[in-house]
Amino acid sequence: MFEHMTEEEARQHILKEVGEYCRQFHNTGKPFRKGDRIPYASRVYDEKEMTNLVDSALEFWLTSGRYTKEFERKFGEKLGVRYVSTVNSGSSANLLAFNALTSPLLGERRIRRGDEVITVAAGFPTTVTPMIQYGAVPVFVDVTMETANIDVTKLDDALSSRTKAVMLAHTLGNPFDLSAVKAFCDRHGLWLVEDNCDSLGSRYTLDGETRMTGTFGDIGTSSFYPPHHLTMGEGGAVYTNNPLLHKIIRSMRDWGRDCVCVSGQDNLCGHRFDGQYGTLPKGYDHKYVYSHFGWNLKATDLQAAIGCAQIDKLDGFTEKRRHNYAFLRQQLIDRGAEEMLLLPEAAANSEPSWFGFLMTLKKSGIREQTVRAVESAGVQTRMLFSGNLIRHPCFDEMRAAYEAGDAENAGFRVSGTLDNTDRIMRDAFWVGVYPGMTDEKLACMAEIITEAAAGALH
Ligand SMILES: Cc1ncc(COP(=O)(O)O)c(C=O)c1O
């Protein structure tokens, strides 16, 4: 078939066929009928993602390469951030973001074992895991019921002489009070890490300037796992405007090495064999000099190829998520659901790109019955991830030490109470507003949710 073609002609031929295949067999969709399953999230893509993926496969570079470079450029331009590092998951992005702040290159400001980081327990575990694995002390602060984000009136009480950073996610796309958190960090010389895994495309206005979330703090992180705002299958990104943090992030992502040559490149700086590092012999190959204890957290070029097609769709996705949120909210209000459910509200000064639609039952103790009814009517539901992370088995040993007053072995601290966190853990659930949702499905969800909550009440 390819004998009379150049390699480029053969590639174009294959890609054309792949596009045809995608149009014919994917996204064919059948009309929605009441009772059909309504998932909380799904990938939204077309032939562009699939042809990019196959293009990268035909090139067979596999590790990070030209698509990764293109993705990082496009992502940086879209967010308005200077340095982007693609990684293999959002959890890896958080691991890197946190550990970057422990680098000796940061001098006095580096986070050391035993230093404290202010965060919340109502969220996804891997926002907090890196702190515990390193031996830093997460300090948990309660959230507000309206936004399920940190209650900023409690920040001052959480501060101690060992506080070095604040690391928080924007819950389900709704930004935390960036204005108060940023001012608090600036006032006390603290690092701010924004876990932006659930909020890509959300905007926030601070001092008259509107920017994307993830770009206000020192470091932002994203996840490209399928339910998220963009997908690569698996994948993530870490971003910063700070060149030193970028250098540290790249070093830790790529085995801890000192050298900045990309995969397959040698001697970019022209000094591969003439440096003096640590107590190594002078001229030791710079490619194998390690300035940090790192990992290998890179993504493949196949993942980035999908990301390159997805990023072009981000604005459309964001618009659709906002529409879906507003439509579902109104449908619920029209059906009187507000009497039974606390509905989500956008944070002040924000335009969220909603990841999910969180609802808390006003009457406690009927969540299970409500969720069972919603699920059996075909609507997929989710909890706010861990609810209250401290109550999970992974915290058993630490919780026991904390309750026994053994602060050293506890390895965490609670500032004030976590009453709202516990209430969300007990009484809240969420449903999807992803771009593949239609008004018809949203209206049907509103009906099912309202009926289920009413049924559980009576
Ligand atoms: C807030 C938050 N942070 C981090 C992650 C981890 O991302 P990943 O699944 O790509 O590791 C998630 C996962 O969904 C998340 O919701």
Backbone angles phi, psi at 185, to 5 degrees: -65, -45
Residues flanking ligand 1, CB < 6 Å: 89-91, 94, 123-124, 126-127, 169, 195, 197-198, 223, 225, 236
β-partners of residue 210 are 205
The band of 1, judged by pLDDT with boundaries at 50, 70 and 90, is confident
Task: Using DSSP, state whether 414 is helix, strand or coil.
Answer: strand
In 3D, which of 350, 325, 333 has the Cα closest to residue 435?
Answer: 325
Asked if residue 39 has pLDDT above 90, the reply is yes
Rounded to the nearest whole angstrom, what is the distance from the C-alpha of residue 272 to the centroid of ligand 1? 38
What digits encode the pLDDT tens for the residues 171-210?
999 999 999 999 999 999 999 999 999 999 999 999 999 9
Q: Which residues contact 122 (CB under 8 A, 6 or more apart)?
A: 143, 148, 171, 384, 386, 387, 388, 389, 418, 420, 421, 424, 425
Pocket test for ligand 1, best of 95, 98, 170, 197 (most atoms within 8 A of CB): 197
Rounded to the nearest whole angstrom, what is the distance from the C-alpha of residue 197 to the centroid of ligand 1? 6
158 and 192 Cβ atoms separated by less than 8 Å: no
* pLDDT value of position 402: 98
* Element holding 237 (H helix, E strand): strand 236-240
* pLDDT value of position 27: 86
62 and 301 Cβ atoms separated by less than 8 Å: yes
User: Ligand 1: which atom is nearest the Cα of residue 235?
Assistant: 10
What CATH number belongs to 314-387+415-457? 3.90.1150.10
β-partners of residue 431 are 357
Task: Report d(CA 449, CA 446) in Å as an integer.
Answer: 5
What digits encode the pLDDT tens for the residues 75-92?
999 999 999 999 999 999
Instruction: Give the pair of three-digit tokens for residue 424.
Output: 């969300």
Rounded to the nearest whole angstrom, what is the distance from the C-alpha of residue 87 to the centroid of ligand 1? 13
* pLDDT value of position 28: 83
Task: Report d(CA 385, CA 285) in Å as an integer.
Answer: 46
Q: How far is CA 376 from CA 36, 205, 267, 370, 427, in A?
A: 11, 41, 61, 10, 18
End-to-end CA distance of the chain: 69
User: Ligand 1: which atom is nearest the Cα of residue 223?
Assistant: 10
Rounded to the nearest whole angstrom, what is the distance from the C-alpha of residue 198 to the centroid of ligand 1? 7
> DSSP assignment of 99-149, as one string?
HHTT-GGGGGGS--TT-EEEEESSS-GGGTHHHHHHT-EEEEE-B-TTTSS
Q: Whose CA is nearest to atom 7 of ligand 1?
A: 90
Exposed/middle/buried for residue 35 (C-beta within 10 Å: 0-12, 13-18, 19+): exposed
CATH class for the domain made up of 54-311: alpha beta
DSSP 338: G
In 3D, which of 203, 231, 109, 220 has the Cα closest to residue 168?
Answer: 220
Asked if residue 35 has pLDDT above 90, the reply is no
| 228 in catalytic set | yes
- The CATH 3.90.1150.10 domain(s) of the chain lie at 314-387+415-457
**Span 332-337, average pLDDT:** 98
Q: Exactly one of 26, 188, 228, 458 is catalytic; which is it?
A: 228
User: Ligand 1: which atom is nearest the Cα of residue 355?
Assistant: 16
To 10 degrees, the CA torsion angle through 46, 49, 55, 58?
Answer: -100
What digits encode the pLDDT tens for the residues 377-416?
999 999 999 999 999 999 999 999 999 999 989 999 999 9
Asked if residue 316 has pLDDT above 90, the reply is yes
pTM over 0.95: yes
- The CATH 3.40.640.10 domain(s) of the chain lie at 54-311
Rounded to the nearest whole angstrom, what is the distance from the C-alpha of residue 91 to the centroid of ligand 1? 6
Instruction: Give the pair of three-digit tokens for residue 124.
Output: 């996804």
**Span 248-253, average pLDDT:** 98
User: Ligand 1: which atom is nearest the Cα of residue 94?
Assistant: 4
Q: Whose CA is nearest to atom 8 of ligand 1?
A: 90
Asked if residue 34 has pLDDT above 90, the reply is no
User: Ligand 1: which atom is nearest the Cα of residue 123?
Assistant: 1
Rounded to the nearest whole angstrom, what is the distance from the C-alpha of residue 194 to the centroid of ligand 1? 12
